[in-house]
A and B are shown apart, each in its own frame.
Chain A
Amino acid sequence: MSALLRSFFLHYISLMDILAKLQILSGAARYDASCVSSGSKREGPACGTGNTSSSGICHSWADDGRCISLLKILLSNDCQYDCAYCVNRSSNFVERASFTAREVVDLTLDFYRRNYIEGLFLSSAVMGSPDKTMERMVRVAETLRTEEQFGGYIHLKIIPGSSSELVRKAGLYADRISVNIELPSQASLQRLAPQKHKEAILAPMALIGREIASSLVERKTSRLAPRFAPAGQSTQMIIGASPENDFQILRLSEGLYKKMKLKRVYYSAYMPVSDDNRLPVLAAPPLLREHRLYQADWLLRFYGFSAEEILSDDAPNLDESFDPKSAWALRHPEFFPVEINRADYGTLLRVPGIGVTSAKRIIAARRFSAITPEGMKKIGVVMKRAKYFIICSGRSFEKTDRPAALLRQQLLIGDSSEPVLPTQLVLPGIFS
């Protein structure tokens, strides 16, 4: 962009009204997957029953069916960095806009008072420098909390490379903070986001983890100790822009949950935004893969599975035709059939088609009397898949000893194609 054009552009930006800015900066945030209440993302079985997430009330559902609960916007899309996979990269020609802190504060309050939203989810491109950007984002949260006594939800994204002082401040005002891990390995990060360094991402993550832990300890001794990001820390990574396989990704997530104590890892299917030759050519964003990863993630967090149980070096990618739990069940015929009237909670959870809700219902109902096959329907357990894997007081629903190949067919009714496993290159993970 020529200097003249640029200055004209900047002038135009300063005159731009809130409506135009909002359109640009909410449009730029729409692909951000880490919505606190992604109830409509069908993330695995537990969502199928219509659960909304813990923090949440959905205030509306957008035209794509996703739940809207937060005012999700960028503070600015005027980026200094040039990450290959991002629409806002500096070398791309898009309309640029930036909010002032006051504008975001007013929007949030106006929306919150009318019950449009639960709160604010603020992220940003790197505007000037990481610290300059982070400073303005923190100012938004600080003004909302201290001047306006805002009690709603605030989620701030940490800009990689901002000072630990600002990270600490962000955690004092926000309910949740997150640092995007962006790509599943350091090699990919170096290739596609050369200005972002692994340390700039992992250092604030570790800092946040420590602050959360110490604030919890302090609050045990004094209720007046400040709360630090009480809703915890999450992160997001882009799937399909780099060659890591699902096994590497799941092991990374497992590490983030266990070592970094993250609350959530979000996966975001790569949306082709440029013809940069560092990026794979995709006909469409890998949405099925994203969906399968969410299901597998769910198994890690709520169903007691480990990454090694779900995938292995020999079969490093999730099956396209089956959800990961069904795929596990098909590989482990010796585990089944499960006796509904005796199995413990953890065992019930391993049955395809039985989620957290159903498992709890079964345990609650069998306190009164043994559950009969008819009773299973009455308490609302969906039998479509489960029936191949269970017996009730010795009675089976379907022949539970059919050969694996036949069972695969049964589960796939109407879709007889054998799953195709994509082969992908293997690169070392970011923790290696």
Chain B
Amino acid sequence: MNRYLYDGTADGLLSAIAWILEEEPCPEQVALAERKDTLFEEGFFIGTDATQAEDLLFRLRKHAPDAASTLYSFMLAEKEGMESSLLHYISLVFTHGDKVNGYLTHPAVRDIVAVAKKAGRELHRMKGLLRFEKLRDGAYLAKMEPDHNIIHPLAWHFSRRLRAQHWFLYDVRRRIAARWNQGTLQFGTIEQFTAPALSEDEKKVQALWQAFFKTIAIPDRKNPRLQKSNMPMKYWKYLTEKQEE
């Protein structure tokens, strides 16, 4: 079995896959892994070529839009050690097109789709669970610590929803921030984060939301298990309604 290596970047991964699909008669028999530069590492290194990577994405989007969005979600997961599965998955996409996502009896398809689904699910969840706080200068800030690197699609979602506001998203663990102001969306990293002061009425609005949250539940139908399975506790840290508990 032929074994290939790439440099560990997303572009590197995609260009390596593009190269293998081009050169290998049987891509499904091939393994691909990140180069670790260990002494006995075996494999042929494929250099990164950003235009190759872009070209692959372009062809994928044209050929199989659903699979392209699966790939996109998969990349948000920043998963290591699944390069070979991804290679086999993409190779299947080019032979079967979009219906490949239904080929769940194939191990590579199952693994890639499962990871992509999980990332997609967290993205969907965060669209609801993200909480903004109003700052003294009138801008809004939302902090989060998601498992997947979802700040880009999340910011895009809010750029359409909260168009009229000036806001920031901040991924606390990855130290990445997004900023939306007057129609432009920017991304950057933050080295030192200092918590800005809240606007005067912020605590009042939060208290209203907490009161609503409490009263809307039917008292004798308490179901903490269902609540936690829908809204896992790892997200509670930044949830306004869960701050008092």
Residues of B within 8 A of A71 (CB): 212
Whether a CB of chain B sits under 8 angstroms from the CB of A378 is yes
Name 11 interchain pairs, CB-CB below 8 A, sorted by A: A22-B212, A62-B216, A62-B217, A73-B212, A115-B132, A364-B102, A364-B103, A365-B103, A368-B96, A371-B105, A379-B105
Q: What 13 new A-B contacts, CB under 8 Å, besides A113-B132, A361-B102, A364-B104? A: A18-B208, A26-B212, A26-B215, A60-B213, A60-B241, A62-B213, A63-B217, A64-B227, A66-B217, A364-B101, A368-B106, A372-B105, A375-B105
Within 8 A of A (CB), among B136-163: 140, 142, 158, 161-162
| A-B residue pairs, 4 tightest by C-beta | A364-B102, A65-B226, A65-B223, A62-B217
Count how many chain A residues have C-beta atoms less than 8 Å from C-beta atoms of the other chain.
Answer: 51
Chain A residues lying within 8 Å of B227, measured Cβ to Cβ, are 61-65
CB distance from A366 to the nearest CB of B (A): 9
Residue in B closest to A375 when the chains form the complex, CB atoms:
B105
Residues of chain B in range 195-224 having any CB-CB distance to chain A below 8 Å: 205, 207-209, 211-218, 221-224
- Taken together as a complex, chains A and B put the C-alpha atoms of A114 and B210 apart, in Å, by 13
Any B CB within 8 A of the CB of A116 = yes
Closest partner residue, chain A, to B96 (CB atom): A368
A252 to B102, CA, bound (A): 38
B223 nearest CB neighbor, chain A only: A65
Per the bound structure, the CA–CA distance linking A364 and B222 in Å amounts to 39
Give chain B's interface residues, CB within 8 Å of chain A: 96, 99, 101-106, 110, 124, 127-134, 140, 142, 158, 161-162, 164-165, 205, 207-209, 211-218, 221-227, 230-231, 239-241
Given A31-B218, A365-B104, A378-B110, A110 contacting B208 (CB threshold 8 A): yes
Give the distance in Å from the alpha carbon of A371 to the alpha carbon of B230 in the complex.
Answer: 32
Report A-chain residues with C-beta under 8 Å of the C-beta of B208.
18-19, 22, 107, 110-111
In the assembled complex, the Cα of A383 lies from the Cα of B231 at a distance in Å of 27
List, in ascending order, chain A residues with CB within 8 A of B99's CB.
Answer: 364, 367
Q: Which residue of A lies closest to B224 (CB)?
A: A63
Q: Is A242 an interface residue (CB 8 A)?
A: no
Contact B216–A68 (Cβ < 8 Å): yes
CB–CB B209/A116 < 8 A? yes
Instruction: Give A353 to B101 CA distance when docked, in angstroms.
Output: 22
A196 at interface, CB cutoff 8 A: no
Query: Complex Cα distance A52/B121, Å?
Result: 11
Q: How far is the CB of B41 from chain A (nearest CB, A)?
A: 33
Residue of B207, B222, B239 touching A63 (CB-CB under 8 A)? B222
A69 touches B128 (CB 8 A): yes
Q: Which residues of B contact A107 (CB under 8 A)?
A: 208
Bound CA span A142–B240, Å: 29
Taking Cβ atoms with an 8 Å cutoff, the residues of A that contact B are: 18-19, 22-23, 26-27, 29-31, 39-40, 52, 57-69, 71-73, 107, 110-111, 113-116, 149, 151, 360-361, 363-365, 367-369, 371-372, 375, 378-380
A160 to B240, CA, bound (A): 37
List the B side residues contacting A60 at CB < 8 Å: 128-129, 213, 231, 239, 241
- CA separation between A114 and B158, bound complex, in Å? 11
Given contacts A58-B230, A64-B217, A115-B142, contact A378 B105 (CB under 8 A): yes
Interface contact B128-A19, CB-CB below 8 Å: no
Residue of B nearest to A380 (CB): B104
| CA–CA, A365 and B213, complex, Å | 42
Interface contact B215-A114, CB-CB below 8 Å: no
Inter-chain contact B213/A30, CB cutoff 8 Å: no
Tell me if B133 and A114 are in contact (CB < 8 A).
yes
Asked if A57 and B128 make an inter-chain contact with CB atoms under 8 angstroms apart, the answer reads yes
The answer on a CB contact under 8 Å between A64 and B223 is: yes
Contacts of A31 in B (CB 8 A): 218
- Bound: A72/B213 CA distance, A: 10
Return chain A residues, CB-CB under 8 Å to B134: 113-114
Given the complex of chains A and B, what is the CA–CA distance between A375 and B230 in angstroms? 28
Contact A115/B104 with A60-B239, A63-B222, A64-B222 known, Cβ cut-off 8 Å: no
Is the Cβ of A365 less than 8 Å from the Cβ of B133? no
A71 to B99 CA separation, bound complex (whole angstroms): 40
CB distance from A280 to the nearest CB of B (A): 19
The 8 Å CB contact of B218, one of A30, A68, A69, is: A30
Residues on B with C-beta less than 8 A from A372 are 105
Contact check, A68 vs B104: say whether CB atoms are below 8 A apart.
no
A31, A62, A375: most-surrounded residue (chain B CB, <10 A):
A62
> For B223, what are the chain A residues with a Cβ–Cβ distance below 8 Å?
63-65
Shortest A128–chain B CB gap in Å is 25
**Nearest A-chain residue to B104, judged by Cβ:** A379
Residues from chain B with Cβ under 8 Å of A363 in the complex = 102
Q: Taking the nearest CB of chain B, how far is it from the CB of A140, in angstroms? A: 17
Most chain A CB within a 10 A radius of its CB, from B106, B142, B211, B225: B211
Instruction: A59 to B103: give the CA distance in the assembly, Å.
Output: 33
